[in-house]
C-alpha cells in the first residue's frame, strides 16, 4: 500500500464506522447463530496472493460484524459495559499506527511519561494516592493476580524470588475474600499456586457486603491453626449485584493482623467521579493495592485497566528482573514499566485513556456516569411499582437486578415455597433467553439468595432514557408471554 491507497481505505473505514454508529439502534444487539454456520461463513485457507482490500472489508461487514454481539449498542446491558467512545476509537487507530512498545523508558519515553500521567489522573479520580506505583494492564483479572503476587511476597519473610514459595517450613498461604468476589481471585490463587482450598470465602451480609466480623474470625482461626494470610481482597462493585464491601472496617481488620488489603474496584472505583455517588462511596485509599477499570466505566475501548499499589517498590520487588539484553541507561527520573508486572512488551494503552479524558473532561465524564445512575434509579422505580417484578438487590451503581415473580406462581396455594422458587427461576431463565434471542436487548444473569435474576447493567455511552424504557417494556411483554405460553 502506498500512502494514497492507505488514506483512501482509511477514509472508507472511518466512514463505515460512522455509518455503523449512526445506525446502531437499528441492528439487533445479538443474533443467535448456528456455530457451524458462523464458522463456515469465514472459513477459508489463507490466500496465496494478496486480495483486494475492498473484498476484505466487504467480508468483514457482511460475514463478521453481523455475527458479533454489539457491545456498543445502547441496549447492551450484559456483564459490565465496555462502550467505546469515538475519541477512544480514533486513539486505537493512532496507537496501531505508532506501534510503540513501552516496556522500557528508553523504548518509548513519551509513552511511559503519558502512562504515568494518566495513572495519576485515574488515581485522583478514584480517590487513591497519586504518588502510588501503578501501571496499565490487560484487564482486572490480571491486575488482581499481579497485586496478589506482590502481596504474597510481602507476606513471606524470606526471599521468594530465590527460593520459591515451597520448601521445608514454608507456611500455607490463605487469601480472604467475600462469597461475592469475582472468580479472578480464585484464578489468581490457582496461578500463584496457593490453590482454591486456600481461598477463604467470607460470608456476606443481607446486602451482599463482606462481613468484617466474620473476616476477623476467619483470620484468627487460621492464624491459630498455623496458616499465613496472604491478603484480603475486598470488592467495590461486586459482579453479581454491585455491592461494595465496607472498606474502612475491612481495613481495620487487615491492619489488626498486618495483612495486605487489595481492593478490586474494577467496576465501582471510578464511579467516585459521579457527583450523585461521590459522598456515599467507600474510600479506596485504605487499600494497599487497588484496581480500577477505565474499560468498564470510562468509555475507553478494550483493553485498559489500572493497577495501583501505595506500598512503594512492592510491585518492582516481585517483578523486576533485568537480563543483559534489557539493560538500559537511566538519565534522570525514569521508569521502566516492565519492572511492575510479568509483561515485557506493552502496547501504548495510555494514549486512548488520555484522549478520552481530555476530550470529555472530568466534568463530562462525571455527567455521563451520573446519567447512567439516574437511568438505573428510574428503572428501579418502574420495577418497584410493578406487582409482578422485584429488584432483589440494591446497588448504588447503575446495575439493576430484576426478577419476574408473577402472582400466578407466587400466590398459588398448591405450590410449596421450594417449587415456587424453581418455577420462578426457570421462568426468569427463559425470559433471559427469549429477550436475548429477540435482538432487542442483551442482558446477563446472576443467582442470588432470592433465586435467578436478570442482570441489567447500564453504562453505555449511547444509552438514553427511551432505550431503557423500551427494554423494560419488552422485558415485561416477553415475561407475560412466557408465563402464558412457555417456550419450554
What residues line the site for ligand PLP (CB under 6 A)? 79-80, 139-141, 182, 184, 235, 237, 239, 264, 266-267, 293, 305
For ligand PLP, give the closer residue by CB, 184 or 341.
Answer: 184
**Torsion angle, CA of 411/412/416/417, rounded to 10 degrees?**
-20
Question: Considering the complex, what minimum distance in angstroms separates the CB of residue 393 from ligand PLP?
Answer: 15
Residues 182, 184, 186, CA angle at the centre, nearest 5°? 95
Question: Considering the complex, what minimum distance in angstroms separates the CB of residue 377 from ligand PLP?
Answer: 21
Question: Considering the complex, what minimum distance in angstroms separates the CB of residue 229 from ligand PLP?
Answer: 21
For ligand PLP, give the closer residue by CB, 256 or 342.
Answer: 342
In angstroms, rounded to a whole number, what is the distance separating the alpha carbons of residues 299 and 357?
9
Cβ–Cβ under 8 Å, residues 190 and 247: no
In angstroms, rounded to a whole number, what is the distance separating the alpha carbons of residues 242 and 459?
13
For ligand PLP, give the closer residue by CB, 138 or 359.
Answer: 138
Question: Considering the complex, what minimum distance in angstroms separates the CB of residue 82 from ligand PLP?
Answer: 9
- Own/partner contacts of 278-282, CB < 8 Å, gap of 24 or more, are 280/396, 281/236, 281/244, 281/396, 282/236, 282/244, 282/245, 282/246, 282/247, 282/248
In angstroms, rounded to a whole number, what is the distance separating the alpha carbons of residues 35 and 94?
34
Question: Considering the complex, what minimum distance in angstroms separates the CB of residue 268 from ligand PLP?
Answer: 8
Question: Considering the complex, what minimum distance in angstroms separates the CB of residue 151 from ligand PLP?
Answer: 16
In the chain, count H helices and then E strands. 17, 11
Question: Considering the complex, what minimum distance in angstroms separates the CB of residue 251 from ligand PLP?
Answer: 18
Show the DSSP H helices in 99-211 as ranges.
109-126, 140-155, 160-163, 183-192
For ligand PLP, give the closer residue by CB, 203 or 486.
Answer: 203
For ligand PLP, give the closer residue by CB, 410 or 444.
Answer: 444
In angstroms, rounded to a whole number, what is the distance separating the alpha carbons of residues 315 and 317?
5
Backbone angles phi, psi at 323, to 5 degrees: -70, 165
For ligand PLP, give the closer residue by CB, 267 or 355.
Answer: 267
In angstroms, rounded to a whole number, what is the distance separating the alpha carbons of residues 308 and 290?
5
For ligand PLP, give the closer residue by CB, 245 or 482.
Answer: 245
Amino acid at each position: 500500500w502506498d500512502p494514497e491507497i492507505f488514506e483512501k481505505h482509511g477514509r472508507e473505514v472511518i466512514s463505515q464506522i460512522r455509518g455503523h454508529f449512526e445506525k446502531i439502534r437499528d441492528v439487533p444487539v445479538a443474533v443467535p447463530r448456528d456455530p457451524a454456520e458462523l464458522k463456515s461463513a469465514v472459513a477459508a485457507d489463507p490466500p496465496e496472493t494478496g486480495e483486494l482490500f475492498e473484498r476484505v472489508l466487504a467480508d468483514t461487514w457482511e460475514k463478521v460484524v453481523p455475527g458479533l454481539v454489539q457491545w456498543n449498542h445502547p441496549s447492551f446491558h450484559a456483564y459490565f459495559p465496555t462502550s467505546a467512545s469515538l475519541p477512544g476509537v480514533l486513539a486505537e487507530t493512532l496507537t496501531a499506527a505508532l506501534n510503540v512498545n513501552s516496556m522500557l523508558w528508553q523504548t518509548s519515553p513519551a509513552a511511559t511519561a503519558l502512562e504515568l500521567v494518566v495513572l495519576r489522573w485515574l488515581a485522583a479520580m478514584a480517590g487513591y494516592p497519586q504518588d502510588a506505583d501503578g501501571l496499565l494492564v490487560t484487564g482486572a483479572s490480571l491486575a488482581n493476580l499481579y497485586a496478589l503476587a506482590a502481596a504474597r511476597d510481602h507476606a513471606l519473610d524470606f526471599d521468594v524470588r530465590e527460593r520459591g514459595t515451597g520448601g521445608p517450613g514454608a507456611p500455607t498461604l490463605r487469601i480472604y475474600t467475600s462469597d461475592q468476589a469475582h472468580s479472578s481471585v480464585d484464578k489468581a490463587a490457582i496461578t500463584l499456586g496457593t490453590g482454591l482450598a486456600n481461598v477463604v470465602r467470607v460470608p456476606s451480609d443481607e446486602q451482599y457486603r463482606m462481613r468484617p466480623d466474620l473476616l476477623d474470625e476467619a483470620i484468627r482461626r487460621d492464624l491459630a491453626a498455623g496458616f499465613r494470610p496472604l491478603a484480603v481482597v475486598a470488592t467495590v462493585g461486586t459482579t453479581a449485584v454491585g455491592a461494595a464491601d465496607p472498606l474502612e472496617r475491612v481495613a481495620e481488620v487487615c491492619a489488626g493482623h498486618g495483612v495486605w488489603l487489595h481492593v478490586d474496584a474494577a467496576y465501582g472505583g471510578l464511579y467516585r467521579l459521579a457527583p450523585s455517588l461521590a459522598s456515599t462511596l467507600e474510600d479506596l485509599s485504605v487499600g494497599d493495592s487497588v484496581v480500577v477499570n477505565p474499560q468498564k466505566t470510562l468509555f475507553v475501548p478494550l483493553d485498559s485497566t489500572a493497577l495501583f499499589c501505595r506500598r512503594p517498590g512492592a510491585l518492582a520487588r516481585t517483578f523486576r528482573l533485568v537480563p543483559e539484553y534489557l539493560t538500559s541507561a537511566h538519565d534522570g527520573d525514569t521508569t521502566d514499566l516492565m519492572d511492575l508486572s510479568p509483561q515485557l512488551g506493552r502496547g501504548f494503552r495510555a494514549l486512548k485513556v488520555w484522549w478520552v479524558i481530555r476530550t470529555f473532561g472530568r466534568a463530562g465524564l462525571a455527567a455521563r456516569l451520573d446519567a447512567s445512575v439516574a437511568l438505573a434509579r428510574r428503572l428501579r422505580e418502574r420495577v418497584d411499582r410493578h406487582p409482578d417484578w422485584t429488584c432483589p438487590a440494591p446497588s448504588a451503581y447503575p446495575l439493576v437486578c430484576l426478577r419476574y415473580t408473577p402472582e400466578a406462581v407466587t400466590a398459588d396455594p398448591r405450590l410449596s415455597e421450594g417449587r415456587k422458587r424453581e418455577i420462578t427461576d426457570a421462568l426468569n431463565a427463559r425470559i433471559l433467553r427469549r429477550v436475548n434471542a429477540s435482538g432487542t436487548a442483551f442482558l446477563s444473569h446472576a443467582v442470588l439468595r432470592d433465586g435467578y435474576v436478570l442482570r441489567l447493567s447500564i453504562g453505555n455511552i449511547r444509552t438514553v432514557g427511551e432505550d431503557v424504557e423500551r427494554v423494560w417494556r419488552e422485558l415485561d411483554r416477553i415475561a407475560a408471554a412466557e408465563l402464558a405460553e412457555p417456550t419450554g
